[in-house]
C-alpha cells in the first residue's frame, strides 16, 4: 500500500534559481524515500522469489535512474537491467502531449518476468505506451514499480503494482526528477508549485 501524502510542505524558491541551501522543507526526505524503497525492494523480492530466470528491470530514462539504482540494491533476487528512453516534457512543468520513445529493450523478453521502473506516473501515457510495447515482446509478465503516483493528472488508467508514494498535484524535483533538466541530483524530493 503506497503512502498517501495529504499535507503540502512549504515551498520557498521555485524555478531554476532554486537555492539548494534554502529550498525549504522537502516534500519527501531522503531518509523517508530510502525507507520506502527498501520496503518496495522486499515486496518485489517476495513477488518474484520463485521465478526461474532473473527478473528483467526496465528503467525508464531519465527520471527513474536514481530510484532504480536504489531499488536494484534493495532486491534479494537476481535481476538484469534494461533501459528505455522516454521523453514527454522537454521543458517546463506540464506535458506537451508528445511522447518520444527510443532505445527500446533489445534483449529477448519471451517468457521473462519484466518490471518497469518509473519515477512518477502522471498522465499514465508514458508507462502505458512502454508496457504495450514490452507486452508485444512475449514476456511472462509485465508489472510496474513507480516511486510516485500523481493521480490528479491521469489520462489513462494505470495499474501500479509497486507504488512508493501517492502525491498531490504539485510539480516535484529531486531524486532523479527534473525541472528543465536540472535538480535530478538533489537527495530529497521538493515541490516547486
Residues of this chain that interact with ligand PRP (CB under 6 A) are 60-63, 86-89, 95, 118-126, 178
With respect to ligand PRP, which residue has the nearer C-beta, 54 or 133?
133
Helix axes 65-73, 30-47, angle to 10 degrees: 60
Least distance to ligand PRP, CB of residue 134, Å:
14
Q: What is the DSSP secondary-structure string of the chain?
A: -PEEP-SPPP----STT--GGG--S-SB-HHHHHHHHHHHHHHHHHHTTT-SS-EEEEEEETTTHHHHHHHHHT-SS-EEEEEEEEES-SSSSS--S--EEES---S--TT-EEEEEEEEESSSHHHHHHHHHHHTT--SEEEEEEEEE-GGG-SS----SEEEEE--S--EEBTTB-BTTB-TT-SSBEE--
Least distance to ligand PRP, CB of residue 192, Å:
13
Catalytic residues: 122
With respect to ligand PRP, which residue has the nearer C-beta, 39 or 184?
184
With respect to ligand PRP, which residue has the nearer C-beta, 23 or 86?
86
Least distance to ligand PRP, CB of residue 153, Å:
7
Quick one: cell of 167? 502525491
With respect to ligand PRP, which residue has the nearer C-beta, 125 or 131?
125
Least distance to ligand PRP, CB of residue 111, Å:
27
Measured CA to CA in angstroms, residue 117 lies from 16, 110, 113, 146 at distances of: 27, 19, 13, 6
With respect to ligand PRP, which residue has the nearer C-beta, 126 or 191?
126
Least distance to ligand PRP, CB of residue 141, Å:
21
Amino acid at each position: 500500500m503506497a503512502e498517501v501524502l495529504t499535507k503540502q510542505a512549504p515551498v520557498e524558491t521555485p524555478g531554476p534559481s532554486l537555492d539548494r541551501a534554502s529550498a525549504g522543507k522537502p516534500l519527501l526526505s531522503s531518509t523517508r524515500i530510502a525507507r520506502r524503497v527498501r520496503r518496495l525492494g522486499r515486496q518485489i523480492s517476495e513477488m518474484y522469489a520463485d521465478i526461474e530466470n532473473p527478473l528483467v528491470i526496465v528503467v525508464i530514462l531519465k527520471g527513474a535512474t536514481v530510484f532504480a539504482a536504489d531499488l536494484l540494491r534493495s532486491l534479494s533476487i537476481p535481476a538484469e537491467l534494461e533501459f528505455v528512453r522516454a521523453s514527454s516534457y522537454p521543458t517546463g512543468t506540464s506535458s506537451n502531449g508528445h511522447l518520444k520513445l527510443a532505445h527500446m529493450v533489445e534483449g529477448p523478453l519471451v517468457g521473462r518476468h519484466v518490471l518497469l521502473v518509473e519515477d512518477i506516473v502522471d498522465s499514465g501515457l508514458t508507462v502505458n505506451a512502454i508496457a504495450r510495447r514490452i507486452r508485444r515482446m512475449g514476456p511472462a509478465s509485465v508489472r510496474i514499480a513507480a516511486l510516485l503516483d500523481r493521480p490528479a493528472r491521469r489520462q489513462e488508467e494505470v495499474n501500479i503494482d509497486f507504488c512508493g508514494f501517492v502525491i498531490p498535484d504539485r510539480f516535484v524535483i529531486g531524486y532523479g526528477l527534473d525541472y528543465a533538466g536540472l535538480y535530478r541530483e538533489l537527495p530529497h524530493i521538493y515541490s516547486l508549485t
